[in-house]
Structure 1
Amino acid sequence: MRVFLSTDRLVLREFTAEDAGLLVELDGDPAVMRHLSGGRPTPPEAVRERVLPRILGHYRRPPGLGWWAAQDRTGGAFLGWFEFRPTRDGDAREVELGYRLRRGAWGRGLATEGCRALIGKGFTELGVERVTANTMAVNAASRRVMEKSGLRYVRTYVERWPEAIEGAEHGEVEYALTRQEWPRRDTDEVRGGPPAAVPATPRPSPGPRWCASA
């Protein structure tokens, strides 16, 4: 088991084959899945046969980025996961940021803490040039996390999903942050200026709803 990074309250580590039950429990909470599947749980067989193998496979593919199990640093309890994955295979210059946390971890600033740590590691150690994140337009909680993490609104778009869920008619939103903008984030927050929109980088639409579940 490899630890990817640690923060004051979190340890982000690689998933292992023994973590299937943790993912089944996480995806079995209707509140967690509200903005991902309309509250429907991910079937256990799908977690074991598709979700977890996909997660484990990314560690073996350059540059070795993907999904990281989040644990409480003090007690070791499983809290959920964070995603930090290239939008294009083998190219770490642009990565997608996301997270999915257990309900008990909500409202404590843990999502922002983990996201900020990943962004910092990406820009200072991993050669990342742009971080992007996506969620439903109606997911106000995750939009706040993105903003607190330094990302700025890029666009609203409509994605065609196999099954529409409540709120999908309002579309999805993309937020992003570039390495050049990142050092100015704290300065902008102190000044209190409104966040400017970040120009969108053309790329394929995101895949299935994996990210920003709160």
Structure 2
Amino acid sequence: MHVLLETERLRLRAFSGADLDNLRELHADPEVMRYLDSGRPAPGLLVTRYAGPAQFGYWAAEERETGGFLGWFEFRPVREDRTDEAEPGYRLRRSAWGKGYATEVSRALLDRGFAELGVARVTATTMAVNTGSRRVLEKCGLRYVRTFHEEWPDPLPGAEHGDVEYALTAAERARPNDDGRAPPEGRPAVSPPVFQRVTSSAATSAIRPGSSSPSSRPRPPGTCAWTR
């Protein structure tokens, strides 16, 4: 079993065929998929393409103490031909929601990307009404960039409020405040709009991964890819 990294409570590892039923169950949960319009990446693809060591990609998430399957995380280049800009994401079982797992592992993936992989910018998008995923992004230090609207053939509830983009550069991550302290986690560059009419989704793969030009590719599978 190839282990990518471990945090205080979780382990990210390569997928195996034994994960297939768990993945199918995860992707079949309507609450997990609330802010996602697709079951991609397909469970079968995850257990075949991402079964070995990889610098970028998808990894199964499990509890260190019990080995219990919790879902998956991703960290992938925004564009296939370059690796200096990447997007994080995740999809977690409802039983794993509200425990800080998404923030804990996403921070570790960002640290690895900036320190070891030469990533210069991390970016993610999610629905504006997805307050849970937005909080995760802000806790990871990403800054609100903009709200934008796109036309979808089958829009999800809340799509009328648009999508939001968040980003963080390596330079911003390293930049101290005037008093020499590191910037506080989650401090946005500008104040993002707040929507009251929303059911919090703090626990599913609510972040749709994105890029600086969101219309350049089809809507991805949520991550951050963002979910809870």
Secondary structure of the residue that 2:154 maps to in structure 1?
Answer: coil
Show CA shifts across 1:59-116 (max 9, x none). 789x741111110011011111111001111422111111111111111111100110
Partner of 1:187: 182
8 Å Cα contact 1:59/1:65 also seen in 2 = no
Q: Report the AA paired with residue 53 of structure 1.
A: L
Partner of 2:72: 81
Q: Report the AA paired with residue 207 of structure 1.
A: R
Q: Report the AA paired with residue 182 of structure 2.
A: T
Partner of 2:220: 208
| Residue correspondence of structure 1 range 35-114 to structure 2 within 5 A | 35-37=35-37, 42=39, 50-53=42-45, 56-57=48-49, 64-114=55-105
RMSD: 2.7
Partner of 2:204: none
Alignment partner of 1:140 out of 102, 118, 131: 131
Relative distance call for 1:55 and 1:133 in structure 2 (3 A) is: farther
Relative distance call for 1:157 and 1:58 in structure 2 (3 A) is: farther
Structure 2 residues not aligned, in runs of 5+: 191-210
8 Å Cα contact 1:112/1:148 also seen in 2 = yes
The answer to whether 1:126 aligns with 2:138 is no
8 Å Cα contact 1:58/1:64 also seen in 2 = no
How far is the alpha carbon of 1:26 from its aligned partner? 0.7
Q: Which of 86-95 and 66-75 deviates more? A: 86-95
How far is the alpha carbon of 1:188 from its aligned partner? 2.3
TM-score (ref. length: structure 2): 0.78
Partner of 1:14: 14
Q: Distance in 1 between matches of 2:91 and 2:129?
A: 17
How far is the alpha carbon of 1:57 from its aligned partner? 3.1
Relative distance call for 1:96 and 1:206 in structure 2 (3 A) is: farther
Partner of 2:199: none
Secondary structure of the residue that 1:181 maps to in structure 2?
Answer: helix
How far is the alpha carbon of 1:159 from its aligned partner? 2.9
Structure with greater contact order relative to length (CA < 8 Å, sep ≥ 6): 2
Q: How high is the sequence identity, in percent, across the aligned residues?
A: 51
| Alignment: residue pair count | 201
Secondary structure of the residue that 1:79 maps to in structure 2?
Answer: strand
Q: Distance in 1 between matches of 2:123 and 2:95?
A: 26
Partner of 2:202: none
How far is the alpha carbon of 1:205 from its aligned partner? 4.6
